[in-house]
Amino acid sequence: MGLSDQSKAYIGLHIAILFFGLTAILGDLIHLPSLSLVWWRLLISLLAFIPVIFILRLFKLSSVWAVKEDIFKVGLFLVIHWITFFASVKLANASVGVLCLATTSCMTAIVEPIVTRRPFRLIEFLFGLCVIPGMILVVQSVSSDMTLGFVVGLFSALFAALFTTFNKKIVDKGSTILFTFAELLVAFVLLSIIVLGLTLSGKSLEFLPQRNIDWGYLLFLSIVCTTICYTIAFRSLRHMTAFSANLSINLEPVYGIILAWWILNDNEEMGSSFYYGAGLILLVVFLFPILEKYFLRIKIIKPDAGTFH
């Protein structure tokens, strides 16, 4: 007896999430500054997305043009998010970068009502407050030379919340894969302008990978962790509820920290307080969609365009 479409979707999504958790590790392993790393990731991902678009026959460009302003905003926020995320990894380590990314849900709970002009929810505010003790434990545990990386990582989470919120505005208006390609293209053009400006101004920028292994890491990051996994994740979402998808996606930082501990030996750089704080943050992030679904069922909150729906 074969697997159902829903079972295949769950397996596919969790495989994609596992590889998403590898992005911080690869960012740490690649010997390039975050600006150059993101430029190559965007270029290779775009080239890899082209055959996907042709295979799936996603040629309806009018749908992209209809939401061009939001596409531009998402591309802008995406490139800032990726640059600051990898900068956080470089300035601290992969565990710090991934943990900061876990706060995206908290950031979204604050950002989305402002952007969409819907009322704030008390549960989201309380949810954000519950993360603070974990953050205090993490800050106290990291060494002073990692503090800047932690702060940059929180900015990365903020921009992740922004591009997630604007993406939700257009998710039902066309192909998510085609929209993703357009957003990556905008991000690539914007970053190319910045790189060109830095070059013309005489700023030195390590741009080309000097090690063959870095090319391998870049290809894996761009093709497997970006193009293939985004495609798998998007197609998986067709066969599961938003609640199940969000609950699964919240496992990404868990996978990321475990992989960083295993591959990069980040545990040797972190004290026990970091993992207590990380555990508290991840517990809150993981439990929130469960509690929200419960409150929706007993009608304490209304099922409007909320953060996780």
Condensed to tens digits (0 to 9), the pLDDT of residues 153-164 reads 999 999 998 988
Strand (E) or helix (H) holding 68: helix 68-91
Q: Decide: helix, strand or coil at residue 152.
A: helix
DSSP type of residue 173:
S
Distance, in Å, from the CA atom of 61 to the CA atom of 179, rounded to the nearest integer, reads 9
Band (pLDDT 50/70/90 cuts) for residue 305 is very low
Average per-residue pLDDT in the chain?
Answer: 84
- 243-262: per-residue pLDDT in tens? 566 667 777 888 888 888 88
Max mean pLDDT among 35-44, 113-122, 238-247 falls in 35-44
Band (pLDDT 50/70/90 cuts) for residue 1 is low
Q: Which long-range contacts (CB under 8 A, 24 or more apart) does 48-56 make?
A: 48/222, 48/223, 48/226, 48/227, 48/228, 49/177, 49/180, 49/181, 49/184, 49/227, 52/177, 52/227, 52/231, 53/177, 53/178, 53/181, 56/175, 56/177
Question: Does residue 3 carry a pLDDT above 60?
Answer: yes
Handedness of CA 251, 253, 259, 265 (dihedral sign): negative
Kindly state the tokens that stand for 263: 């591959």
Q: Decide: helix, strand or coil at residue 13.
A: helix
Global pTM value: 0.86
- 190-211: per-residue pLDDT in tens? 999 999 998 888 787 888 898 9
pLDDT for 298: 65
Q: CA torsion angle for 157, 158, 164, 165 (degrees, to 10)?
A: 160
Band (pLDDT 50/70/90 cuts) for residue 299 is low
Phi-psi region of 45 (alpha: psi -120 to 50; beta: other; left: phi over 0): alpha
DSSP type of residue 220:
I
- 173-192: per-residue pLDDT in tens? 888 888 889 999 999 999 99
pLDDT for 309: 29
